[in-house]
Structure 1
Amino acid sequence: MRKILIASLLMAGTSLPTIAHAQDEAASDDSAIVVTAQRREQSILEVPIAISALGGDSLATKGITNSASLQSAVPNLQISSPYGQTQPNFSLRGISVANEYNSNQASPVGVYIDDVYLANRTAHGMGLFDLDRVEVLRGPQGTLFGRNTTGGAINFITRGPSLSGANGYFEAGYGNFNTFTAQGAAEATLIEDAVGLRIAGNWANGDGQVKNVYPGGQDAYSQDTLQGRATLRIRPGNGPLDIKLKAYGGRDRGTQAAVHGFAPFRTGLGFFETNENRMGTNKTEAWGVSANISYELSDKVTLTSITSRDGGKQNLQQAADGSPIDILDITWLSKYNQFSEEARINYSSDKIDLVGGFFYGWDKVVTDNRFNVGSIIAPGVDGGFFQHYDQLRKSTALFAQGDFKLTDQLTLTLGARYTWDRSEYRDGYAYLFMAGVGDPMVPLASTVPCATPAGTCAYDPTLRYAIKGKNNALTGRVALSYKTDGGTLLYASYNRGYRAGAFNVGGYTSSAGITYIDPEQVNAYEAGFKGRFLGMLTLSGAAFYYDYKNQQVQDTRAGPVSFLVNAPKSEVYGAELEASAKLSPMVSVNFAAGYLHARYKKLTLQGTALDGNSLPFAPELTLQGGLDLTLLDNDTGKLKLSPSVSYFSKQFFSPFNTVNAVGSPQVNSELQQGGYAKVNVTASFETGPFTFRAFVNNLFNEKTYVYGLDLRGAGFPYNYLVPSTPRTFGGSVRIAF
């Protein structure tokens, strides 16, 4: 609390700006943002949905440079990962993948880039650059966004050609940990009002941020990222046809997250230190192409087609013991591909706004994981498990939603979506092997397919395991919204969300646990308001109640054996408030708060009743606040200062919370993080085409854990805990042209 007080005094007595980009002053006011949450352009204040929208300037001001740091600006959003910035797990209002760590599982918070759904969670860990805005939609979005949005949806909207003139920018920076960054964009109009091209790129390279004391070992959390994007827009004769063609690609070669593991080797180490003999590298790649084609048949009717093809791969070399001895070392190796097509029609008149369409998509992942588990064969004889499988998912859906204006002030929204999901787990096999880390594997026994404990089935390289799963689901939305004479929007809604069933691919020690479990379902009730008050204050709030069924959670047992199971019933309720105000031409403030009560009403794991426990990654209270102060604004230039603070109350990393399964060696009390606050500060000076910027993130060097996993219950002598990164600071120079 002392640090929160200091941060509050800092914001009250100092000044800081929004990040200086090549956007005008109005673009930095997030309350004025136009969003596409209902698949058409609307002011954020006119959409009866709980939305946080952040423009490019706001992202930079708050120190948000990657998707994993969005939680510092959105109420009731929590982001965690066992792998650092790779494969982030998004939790919105308590709904998340819980303690699941396999990359084949779909996030219950749908992630989109320019309305294109990204099925693989590895692709969600992205650097943020040259964005127009980010829209975070809280609550189920099962009508217009589709399956796997039981928690909500996050849509990253990139900047595209404006078809007028030329512009661009280049920015280079340097920070502690010898971190170099560069990003830029250039836009050219090839034919005025008809053809434009925008190219953007992002690069970051830096030393590890958590020191590894092992002689010659790599430090954790190093950066080595390169991304690029090109968008071609064609609008012949400035007419009704608008074509946007986009291609992107990127790769990451940073070192893995730090691990606090085997306790004997934590002696004498600081929080931001580790002693690891095999610090791994997170090697990921992502690429994609898309075509967004719209045609205005009339001033009332528009046809849109969005076609995409995306892919990538991950090779996560993960030392999972945080020690100089080989207890658990894993290679997560996967390749993924996906295709999607969405065709929709929009109709708009004075009384009715309609959108309806068709969606088809498939995604495929091919996985070859290797788990080295120390002396698993015999004392002094190292070995482990190798696992291979293909997973294919196909989804087809029809959807429609309409806003019916019953009066000039009262609107009824009705929407429905029917989804057909089909999944296949195929070509599955796994075996127990003898080998040290990195050595050639000597197969000893088949474990998949094998329904009995590991080591009991003779090795047979021809054996394969395959199962199928399918779901059909009806989701929908009903809302009533009322706009007062003063312009305030009041609304109440019911939404049903759905997350498709899933395979337990964690079952590599036996095929007995490889099953297809039931889909999740959320029935959500919400009431809220949003509007402008006193000519300077923008305020929005919402209260919600969820009936949440069949959350998919991972249950890791001695063996080690993993089971993916359903938590039959949970209850989630809470409230949110967001406010921003421009107190004067020199001073603006923003504030957000979220309260969350997320509890299991019925859950038993390993014979232990967990009714009443908190859902993982669901802190009861989140607070965010920021201040933008213009200290100087004259012919010389503009000087701004922007401190911001974010607070999170206690959260658990496991459905067990602090309870231990009877008869197990679990110590689940380790798997939690107490309440904490983090402060970021940004300052900038704009003069002519130049912007000079300085920043510090995690000003007070707060020490927190971001992820934890029970490994004691799986037979290991420690739990897996991932610490956060320490304070970072630096500066940059930007030139706009």
Structure 2
Amino acid sequence: MNRKVLLLMAASQAALFGGTGVASAQTTPVAAQTTPANATDTQSSSELPDIVVTAQRQSETLQRAAASVSVRSGSDLLAAGKFALSAILEDVPGVSGGAAATPTGMAGSSSGNDSPAAGLTIRGIPSNSGVGGSATSIATSAAIYVDGIYNGVGSSYDIDRVEILRGPQGTLYGRSATTGVVVIKTRDPALGIVEGNIAAEAGNYDLEHYYGAVNVPLVSDVIALRVSGNYYSRDGYDTHDVDKGELGYRGGAMRSTDFRAKMLIAPTSTFSVLLGVAGQNNKIYSSGNSMNLQTDGTYDKVYGDVGPGTNKFRQYWAEFNLDLGGANLVYIPAFRTWTSSALNYGRVPAIGLAVDQDISTPKDEFMTHELRLASQQGGKLKWQIGALYYQNDLRSIVKATDGYSGALLYNSDVAKKTTAAGVFGEATYALADTTRLNAGLRYDYTKVAVDQTYTANLNLCCGGPLGSTTYGYPEILQTQTLSGQEGKRTYRNVTYKVRLEHDLSPRNLLYALTSSGFSPGDLSVTTGRTGAPTAVEFKTETLTSYEVGSKNRFFGNRLQVNGSAFYYVYGGYQVGNINISDIIGLTAFTAISAPARAYGGELEISFQPTPRDRIGINSSYTKAYFVDRREQAVPGSTRTFDYYFSRKDIPNVIPFRTQVNYDHDIDLSDGSSITLHGDVRFLSSFYSAPLRQNLVDGALDAARTGSQFVEDVTATWRSRDNRLSLSAYVRNVSNNRYNINAGVNLAGVNATGQGLIAATRELSDPRTYGLVLSTKF
């Protein structure tokens, strides 16, 4: 292990400081979705292709982008059976998660979330968890843009490419781009041609996946329409209860139906309009079981009720592009809605805890307007300026009752309106032919207005015991409202970026930058330490980053080595779902916070030794930790932050990750071909849950996940004309299921004052396999 780390560190140093190696002249860039096997005639098949990216709001090749950027192609994701965002991003260095967390933080929940970035962690900085008992929209630490829309709809099908920018992107993207941005681009209509593609996928766990798209010209070379649809359905990964027949397989099952239509209107060469509508209907079932720690240290599966949930997205947007001669003007208006209804069951049998949650979101509307003006290519100075308006109108209701007695635990009814506006400017000036200076500045204003009614049962400590039919009775209810000036907050933020970049040669780039990002604050009501309702405020979070990086091509464009190293100063890690109550069965929440630091780096290597062979290495190291924990007071408590986070490291951050992949092309006698792909991912050990100081030592083992290996293989046959393909894949070949989310609860206190634990865990996905048949026309 140490030898591997040393070799990777040596390679990183070569990438950062060895940029004077063999370099070739610039070659013609190809589209981001193009694989090396399909490179254009202007580029030798023995060379790595140049990939065009637009995540920095300008068109540039990946190797000329002075930022830590990774790209994944839509065709490769489809062939590998990667549908969920977590699977799409699983081999991207410095990135983890991506499966949207539930607003209430319950594992295996069926409620879904209005933000696909809620579970996304980039470089060790996770998103905030919503305040306990609240289903409000939260400002995530990383942002996702789909077709230029913040938290857009339809990110899993008909994908052109996925671009991942690591590091604060506050200047260009503003809200929630604290740690980075995932930019997903779906395929646009093409003028003057009729084309399309259809794909069907089948696999274990009764997987059914169908996808199709068609492009048709409505007015030749002026108007084109692209319509696409997607259907995805599978059973749960953990059998719930075979005695219930078909119903026994619904725990954790899901079904998703998507549609999208885009119309491109280009009446002149200088003006175009893209009109779009998209929708998604989801049916989700809660897991229905939990893995509970036994006295002998093993985990036993305990079955519970399966809760159904549905949620729906609708989105309408447009993109106007105007060439003004010397500058380009872009305007993107969008309107998105999300509604949900779900019933969740949370069970910890070891302590008799049972929570039934009825969650509904009858209204969750988002409206955004973005305007950008950018200079065209050429000249020493390149610039862009812009403005963004954001508005969210939310109504959410959460009612929680005890699963045994039916007594009310709490009821939350929220109406919240968030408005935000920002302006930015960024420019790059060529100091010399090989040296450029980039600088950017942004100002954002955010206003939150909350009208909330929250009712809590004050008799959870004094009625019948946990697990009894009298728990919580007689109900003693207390209600608190948050409205008017009490429920209003405003936040102002300024973010910046300064970058120096230098070309050692046409194929070797060095850069150094400092930048900042922010997440706006928030406000909610939850159950306080005394059991009574209390208002909880999240402060604005700011992050300052220092980064150096290098991008290189060697040996006639057959070897690509990209590396970056960073250091973060994080103003405050905040969390609102930590139970600060000392009474077993009584939950109480507040916003607790501590400053944090993070440092590390990423290394991406691509090598094409022959026209038919490709080797890749994607590695990252992240050290994320709290500072001054003992000095951070916890509101409503006499304790400090370090009592609830007894370990210095931020939980659920995997320090070292690396993936090694290999592709080999085989040409067949009939002109068709086969591509064989294999990859292995290594994950170092980590802790997946925060631990209180008074828990016994066994809690460390319950929250710790050891080092893991995960293997994937894919074989793809393509016809001679590349119009027909058949892929077979196996993900997690060794069926290695490891702990990805621990729940460590206080079950009691022994005679010495140490806490007794009740622990649950959530496992990673099992081995999955399937076939994907795809055709183009």
TM > 0.5 fold call: yes
Please list, as runs of the form range in 1=range in 2, the aligned pairs for 1:80-479 lying within 5 A after superposition: 81=101, 82-83=107-108, 86-87=112-113, 88-97=118-127, 100=130, 102=135, 104-118=137-151, 128-213=156-241, 215-216=243-244, 218-219=248-249, 220-237=251-268, 239-257=269-287, 259-263=289-293, 274-298=301-325, 300-321=326-347, 327-334=354-361, 335-348=363-376, 349-375=378-404, 382-432=407-457, 444-449=475-480, 467-479=487-499
What is the identity, as a one-letter code, of the residue corresponding to 2:275? L
Call closer, same or farther: CA 1:48–1:146 in 2, change over 3 Å.
same
Separation in 1, partners of 2:653, 2:697: 25
What is the identity, as a one-letter code, of the residue corresponding to 2:264? R
Call closer, same or farther: CA 1:233–1:507 in 2, change over 3 Å.
farther
Match in the other structure for 1:25: 38
How many aligned positions are there?
Answer: 690
Match in the other structure for 2:654: 619
Match in the other structure for 2:90: 72
**In the alignment, structure 1 residue 682 sits paired with structure 2 residue 714:** yes
Match in the other structure for 1:483: 503
Decide which of 758, 765, 771 is 1:725's aligned counterpart: 765
- Conservation of the 8 A alpha-carbon contact between 2:33 and 2:73: no
Please give the per-residue CA displacement for 1:115-143, whole angstroms capped at 9, x wherever unaligned: 21129xxx7xx661111111111011000
Separation in 1, partners of 2:769, 2:519: 40
**In the alignment, structure 1 residue 522 sits paired with structure 2 residue 535:** no
What is the identity, as a one-letter code, of the residue corresponding to 2:38? E
Please give the per-residue CA displacement for 1:537-567, whole angstroms capped at 9, x wherever unaligned: 1221000000111111132123643434343
Cα distance, 1:256 vs structure 2: 2.1
After TM superposition, the score normalised by the length of structure 1 is 0.86
Call closer, same or farther: CA 1:269–1:602 in 2, change over 3 Å.
closer
Match in the other structure for 2:663: 628
Separation in 2, partners of 1:400, 1:93: 26
Match in the other structure for 1:454: none
Cα distance, 1:107 vs structure 2: 1.1
- Conservation of the 8 A alpha-carbon contact between 1:97 and 1:107: yes
- Conservation of the 8 A alpha-carbon contact between 1:302 and 1:347: yes
Cα distance, 1:20 vs structure 2: 11
Cα distance, 1:206 vs structure 2: 2.2
Call closer, same or farther: CA 1:694–1:526 in 2, change over 3 Å.
same
What is the identity, as a one-letter code, of the residue corresponding to 1:622? R
Cα distance, 1:26 vs structure 2: 3.1
- Conservation of the 8 A alpha-carbon contact between 1:338 and 1:363: yes
Cα distance, 1:287 vs structure 2: 1.4
Match in the other structure for 2:53: 35
Separation in 2, partners of 1:487, 1:49: 15
- Conservation of the 8 A alpha-carbon contact between 1:214 and 1:277: no
- Conservation of the 8 A alpha-carbon contact between 2:128 and 2:574: yes
SS at match of 2:76: helix
- Conservation of the 8 A alpha-carbon contact between 1:364 and 1:390: yes
Larger RCO: 1 or 2 (CA < 8 Å, sep 6+): 1
Q: Percent identity?
A: 21
Separation in 2, partners of 1:480, 1:267: 54
Call closer, same or farther: CA 1:56–1:505 in 2, change over 3 Å.
farther
Separation in 2, partners of 1:714, 1:134: 47
Separation in 2, partners of 1:505, 1:71: 34
Give unpaired runs (5+ residues) of structure 1: 5-18, 452-462
Separation in 1, partners of 2:37, 2:221: 21
Separation in 1, partners of 2:212, 2:572: 45
Call closer, same or farther: CA 1:542–1:201 in 2, change over 3 Å.
same
Separation in 2, partners of 1:682, 1:504: 47
Match in the other structure for 1:7: none
- Conservation of the 8 A alpha-carbon contact between 2:80 and 2:729: no
Please give the per-residue CA displacement for 1:697-737, whole angstroms capped at 9, x wherever unaligned: 11111111222344437999734422222111111222211
What is the identity, as a one-letter code, of the residue corresponding to 1:34? V
Cα distance, 1:636 vs structure 2: 4.3
Call closer, same or farther: CA 1:720–1:736 in 2, change over 3 Å.
same
Call closer, same or farther: CA 1:476–1:388 in 2, change over 3 Å.
same
Separation in 2, partners of 1:230, 1:511: 49
Separation in 2, partners of 1:317, 1:99: 20
What is the identity, as a one-letter code, of the residue corresponding to 1:142? G
What is the identity, as a one-letter code, of the residue corresponding to 1:516? E
What is the identity, as a one-letter code, of the residue corresponding to 2:664? L
SS at match of 1:645: strand
Separation in 2, partners of 1:668, 1:506: 29
**In the alignment, structure 1 residue 543 sits paired with structure 2 residue 581:** no
Cα distance, 1:242 vs structure 2: 1.2
Cα distance, 1:681 vs structure 2: 1.2
Cα distance, 1:468 vs structure 2: 1.6
Decide which of 53, 75, 80 is 1:57's aligned counterpart: 75
Call closer, same or farther: CA 1:264–1:543 in 2, change over 3 Å.
closer
Separation in 2, partners of 1:655, 1:664: 13
Cα distance, 1:55 vs structure 2: 1.3
Match in the other structure for 1:592: 618
SS at match of 2:88: helix
- Conservation of the 8 A alpha-carbon contact between 1:374 and 1:384: no
Give unpaired runs (5+ residues) of structure 2: 5-31, 102-106, 461-466, 750-755
Cα distance, 1:500 vs structure 2: 0.7
Cα distance, 1:163 vs structure 2: 1.1
RMSD, aligned α-carbons: 3.4
SS at match of 1:60: helix
Separation in 1, partners of 2:311, 2:443: 34
Please list, as runs of the form range in 1=range in 2, the aligned pairs for 1:634-653 lying within 5 A after superposition: 634-653=669-688
After TM superposition, the score normalised by the length of structure 2 is 0.82
Call closer, same or farther: CA 1:426–1:621 in 2, change over 3 Å.
same
Call closer, same or farther: CA 1:180–1:33 in 2, change over 3 Å.
same
What is the identity, as a one-letter code, of the residue corresponding to 1:231? K
Comparing 584-593 and 97-106, the one that deviates more:
97-106
Separation in 2, partners of 1:66, 1:30: 28
Separation in 1, partners of 2:137, 2:474: 25
What is the identity, as a one-letter code, of the residue corresponding to 1:26? A
SS at match of 1:654: coil
- Conservation of the 8 A alpha-carbon contact between 2:257 and 2:282: yes
Separation in 1, partners of 2:545, 2:34: 38
SS at match of 2:735: coil
Comparing 23-32 and 282-291, the one that deviates more:
23-32
Cα distance, 1:523 vs structure 2: 0.8
Match in the other structure for 1:577: 603
**In the alignment, structure 1 residue 496 sits paired with structure 2 residue 529:** no
Match in the other structure for 1:456: none
Cα distance, 1:100 vs structure 2: 4.9
SS at match of 2:173: coil
Call closer, same or farther: CA 1:669–1:284 in 2, change over 3 Å.
farther
What is the identity, as a one-letter code, of the residue corresponding to 2:580? R
Cα distance, 1:419 vs structure 2: 0.5
Please give the per-residue CA displacement for 1:155-181, whole angstroms capped at 9, x wherever unaligned: 111100121311111111211112111
Match in the other structure for 1:13: none
SS at match of 2:191: coil
